[in-house]
Amino acid sequence: MSLENILSNAQRGQRELGAEKKVGWDEVTQGVVINAFEYDATNVSRELSEDRKYSDFSSYTATVASWRIIKPIYNRDICIDCQNCWVWCPDTSIISRDKQMLGIDYDHCKGCGVCVEVCPTNPKSLLMFAETADGEECLAGWPVKEKKAKETETE
């Protein structure tokens, strides 16, 4: 699958959370149980999420992008692929393959900023911007490396 498909595949986030078909009390699932797949999923753990076919009631197929007011922007040129953001993201919204950071799942990212907080590079490889900000402009104005106070003194 191409990088573009992984970052935004057709399955993921195809509807607003809450836009699913509403049914009456007599049709809801017993015990509020949600089946993630409608087929025999015995080997699904060996498939990548973009290759799986999630059920309509799985949150994978829903988007909560509208909940977000600030968003992380990712700068590939600075990232060292340390995977810190992937480990810490509370919504598994950092997309990484073979230990290489690819981008952000904007269908499920809530804009909490944890990824920026844990990013160890200087300058950071992820920064928060307004939800409406243009990605290209954000990258163009990316901050430069901050010099340590000590180095400044010796100069």
Partner 1 sequence: MAEKIELQKVEVWDGNYAASHALRQAQVDVVAAYPITPSTPIVENYGQFVADGYIDGEFVMVESEHAAMSGCVGAAASGGRVATATSSQGFALMVEVLYQASGMRLPIVLNVVNRALASPLNVRGDHSDMYLGRDSGWIQMDAFNAQEAYDMNLCAFRVGEHMDIRLPVMVHQDGFITSHTAQNVNPLSDEEAYKFVGVYNPVEEMLDFSRPVTYGAQTEEDWHYEHKARQHKALMDARPVIESVFAEFQKVSGRQYKRVETYMTEDAEVIIVALGTTVESARVAAKQLREEEGIKAGVVAPRVLRPFPFDAIRDALQNCKAIGAMDRSSPGGALGMLFNEVSAAMYTTSARPVMSNYIYGLGGRDLSINAIKDIYRELQENATAGEITTPVQQFISLRGPKLSFFETRRS
Using CB under 8 A, which of 7, 11, 14, 36 touches partner 1? 36
Give backbone dihedrals phi and psi of 97, rounded to 5 degrees, phi first. -135, 135
- Polymer length in residues for the chain: 155
The verdict on 152 binding partner 1 (CB under 8 A) reads: no
The verdict on 33 binding partner 1 (CB under 8 A) reads: yes
The verdict on 34 binding partner 1 (CB under 8 A) reads: yes
d(CA 73, CA 129): 7
Indicate the residue among 33 and 140 with the shorter CB distance to partner 1.
Answer: 33
Is the torsion defined by CA of 94, 131, 52, 39 positive or negative? positive
Query: What DSSP letter does each residue of 101-137 carry, written as one string?
Result: EEEE-TTT-----HHHHH--SSS-SEEEEETT--HHH
The verdict on 92 binding partner 1 (CB under 8 A) reads: no
The verdict on 90 binding partner 1 (CB under 8 A) reads: no
Could you say which residues in the range 37-66 bind partner 1, by CB under 8 A? 37, 40-42, 44
Contacts to partner 1 by CB under 8 A: 18, 22-26, 28, 30-37, 40-42, 44
